[in-house]
Amino acid sequence: MEGGIHPVETSAFRDCFSLAWKNPYVLRLAFSAGIGGLLFGYDTGVISGALLYIKEDFDSVDKQTVLQESIVSMAVAGAIIGAAIGGWMNDRYGRKTAILIADFLFFIGAVIMASAQNPATLIVGRVFVGLGVGMASMTSPLYISEASPAKIRGALVSTNGFLITGGQFLAYLINLAFTKAPGTWRWMLGVAGVPALVQFILMILLPESPRWLFRKGREEEAKAILRKIYPAHEVETEIQDLKESVEKEIEEEGSSEKINFIKLWRTKTVRRGLIAGVGLQVFQQFVGINTVMYYSPTIVQFAGFASNRTALLLSLVTAGLNALGSIVSIYFIDRTGRKKLLVISLIGVIISLGLLSAVFHETTSHSPDVSPLATSRFANYTCPDYSSAKEDATWDCMKCLKASSPDCGFCASAINKLLPGACLISNDTVKDLCHKEDSLWYTSGCPSKYGWLAVVGLALYIIFFSPGMGTVPWIVNSEIYPLRFRGVCGGIAATANWVSNLIVAQSFLSLTQAIGTSWTFLLFGVISVVALFFVIIYVPETKGLPIEEVEKMLEMRTLQLRFWEKRPDSLQKNQAV
């Protein structure tokens, strides 16, 4: 899943580096906990490359898209459960304990996946990894936030977001590194256990969150930690502020326990906030981002790139652009505003998905023909459906790949991959025979002169998605709810995001089989158009507004449809105050 990065001022980064020089202990806390974000990002990225090689080792996975989707999405299902358990565990046993358990689960999952002898065991490993990811994804930023000095809290929490996108980029590098190694996907998935083990060791040596200790009445332990974090002249003020904050939080939490979901929905400001917040989280997934992150090498192969290594190399570009987009968002979020960034992002996403749909329509409707002469050279391995076809002159590469009794592949012409080739049974023996002819072997997509445009489309999609729809939904959800309801509503929105993620991850490959890759991307494009109108109508601009002003805006429904215009002076003054 795509994680959110909190906006921070550039001065916060300067303060962060200054403090790191004076007090490296604070950075040690932040980066040790931030490895949880790295695990989150690594798992999202690594499965996309590993899946290419898992299909080669397990025929059942290669032939059943449901199994491929299950291998990907069971980690998301585990993450939903992990996030739910993690919330309770954080309050009951502390942030440090929750991170340690998350690392243990992730490590166990990595070992199970690396040693899996069948798809069922692999799926069990994915569930364990998902449980760890779900717990770490919510606990790491919480620990960093509660163990950071206030003035650089945003900058330090943002390291978790950087490490998520950095973990995705690292995953593609690891995938490339092991493409030639024996056991390929086992190494790709098994290496994930290393950062989990490193974080486990580091966290054992680090303290619990001072805020949690205060809440549990262990004030002396909390004060000792705060004295390591803050300069001597700030410690007492911070201790007093923390004490008051925790007392207020406990009081608010006490009242929030009486919250009834029906009453929550009947409260106008909360209802309108939930519509905007949950809607953004659902649309973030339904415009198709995690199909790109989970399946980008597969998508590249659909576009006509036969080599697994080439597909991974091109997918590395999307992961790098995603990490870059996180940085762009931090720079622009408080300059252009949330709503404008969302609108620009969605317009770009719609254009990119339109391009991808057109490219895949072109690749599927103009694929190379099947040559009877080229096929006859592999007489013993001719695709049975092609042999029994009365009108074999109408067969092309796409028709060959759709043959299913048994599955067939396309061996391209050695002279030019766009010329007619051979339609043969799909297995390792035939694949090797095709390669011996200096020809490319295709089973997912067909040779096309437009394949490079699909890579351009994916790159544009990430460039537009990452700074806007990638980060803004999380930021808006942290600002739009009244303080008393923020925990409950934030939990509802986060759950909606994970469930939507699961639906998209579990259905993408089935959709491409049922209606074709072109129509699948067109469907995401139509959803993006709906999302654009949703943002314009239902999402308020919260940039720089105090909580009270956001509540007033939701109460009066003064939604800014002309989002490009400056706010009235009254709002500007409120922001200044």
Question: 3-state secondary structure string, 223-248?
Answer: HHHHHHHCCHHHHHHHHHHHHHHHHH
* 572 has a pLDDT exceeding 50: no
Given this model, what pLDDT does residue 516 score?
84
Name the 3-class secondary structure at 85: helix
What pLDDT digit, counting tens, does each position of 231-281 carry? 777 777 777 777 776 676 666 555 544 556 676 777 777 888 889 889 998
Please report, for residues 54, 84, 144, the alpha-carbon distance to residue 161 in angstroms, rounded to integers and kept in the order given: 29, 20, 12
- The answer, yes or no, to whether residue 2 has pLDDT greater than 60, is no
Predicted confidence at residue 370, as pLDDT, reads 92
pLDDT tens-digit readout, 389-402 = 877 678 999 899 88
Neighbours of 12 (CB within 10 A): 17
Greater model confidence, 130 or 481: 130
Task: Tell me what pLDDT residue 255 has.
Answer: 52
What is the pLDDT, as a whole number, of residue 14?
A: 56
What are the C-alpha distances in Å from 403 to residues 67, 382, 409, 518? 19, 12, 9, 19
Residue in 342, 237, 207 with CA at minimum distance from that of residue 279: 342
Contact 412, 439 (CB under 8 A): yes
Who has greater pLDDT, 255 or 80? Answer: 80
Q: What is the mean pLDDT of residues 299-320?
A: 75
Of the two residues 289 and 551, the one the predictor is more confident about is: 289
The ranges assigned to domains in the chain are 10-206, 207-254, 263-366+448-577, 369-429
pLDDT at 430: 92
SS3 215: helix
- Cα 402 to chain centroid distance, Å, stands at 30
Q: How confident is the model at residue 88 (pLDDT cuts 50, 70, 90)?
A: confident
C-alpha distance from residue 144 to each of 23, 99, 101, 250, 494 (Å): 15, 12, 17, 20, 19
Between 283-297, 343-357, 451-465, 545-559, the lowest mean confidence (pLDDT) is in 545-559
Measure the N-to-C terminal CA separation of the chain; round to a whole number of Å: 37
Check if the beta carbon of residue 368 is closer than 8 Å to that of residue 561.
no
Q: Are residues 542 and 564 in contact, defined by beta-carbon separation less than 8 angstroms?
A: no
Query: Which among 34, 158, 19, 150 is positioned nearest to 103, based on CA atoms?
Result: 34
- Write down the pLDDT at residue 102: 93
CA–CA separation, 545 and 185 (whole Å): 48
* Mean pLDDT to the nearest integer, 88-98: 84
Q: Which residues pair with 442 in a beta bridge?
A: 410
Contacts of 390 (CB under 8 A, 6+ apart): none
Range 456-471 average pLDDT = 87
Cβ-based burial of 262 (10 A; exposed 0-12, middle 13-18, buried ≥19): exposed
Gap between the Cα atoms of 103 and 101, Å rounded: 5
The architecture in CATH of the region 10-206 reads: Up-down Bundle (1.20)
Query: pLDDT > 90: what percent of the chain?
Result: 21
Side chain identity at residue 196, one-letter code? A
pLDDT of residue 511: 87
Res 403: pLDDT: 84
Average pLDDT, the chain: 80
pLDDT over 90 (residue 321): no
Give the bridge partners for 411, in sequence order: 422, 441
Mean pLDDT confidence for 493-497: 80
Task: Label residues 331-345 b or e (16+ Cβ within 10 Å = b).
Answer: ebbeebbbbbbbbeb
Does 10-206 match 263-366+448-577 in CATH topology? yes
User: How large is the average pLDDT for residues 86-115?
Assistant: 89
Is 90 exceeded by the pLDDT of residue 354? yes
Q: What is the mean pLDDT of residues 568-574?
A: 45
Give residue 565's pLDDT band: very low, low, confident or very high (50, 70, 90). Answer: low
Fold of 263-366+448-577: Growth Hormone; Chain: A; (1.20.1250)
Orientation of helix 517-538 relative to helix 289-302, angle to 10°: 160
Q: Which of 461, 459, 458, 434 lies closest to 447, judged by CA?
A: 434
What is the reported pLDDT for 10? 45
Highest mean pLDDT, choosing among 246-260, 307-321, 404-418: 404-418
Residue 76 pLDDT more than 50? yes
56 or 256: whose pLDDT is higher? Answer: 56
Mean pLDDT to the nearest integer, 279-302: 81
Q: In this structure, how many other beta carbons lie within 10 angstroms of the beta carbon of residue 448?
A: 24
**How many CB atoms sit inside 10 A of residue 544's CB?**
15
Q: What is the pLDDT of residues 160-216, one digit of tens each?
A: 667 888 888 888 888 888 888 888 899 999 998 999 999 999 999 888 888 788 777
Decide if pLDDT at 507 tops 60: yes
* 104: confidence class by pLDDT, cuts 50, 70, 90: very high
Sequence length of the chain is: 577
Residue 294 has pLDDT above 70, yes or no: no
pLDDT at 346: 95
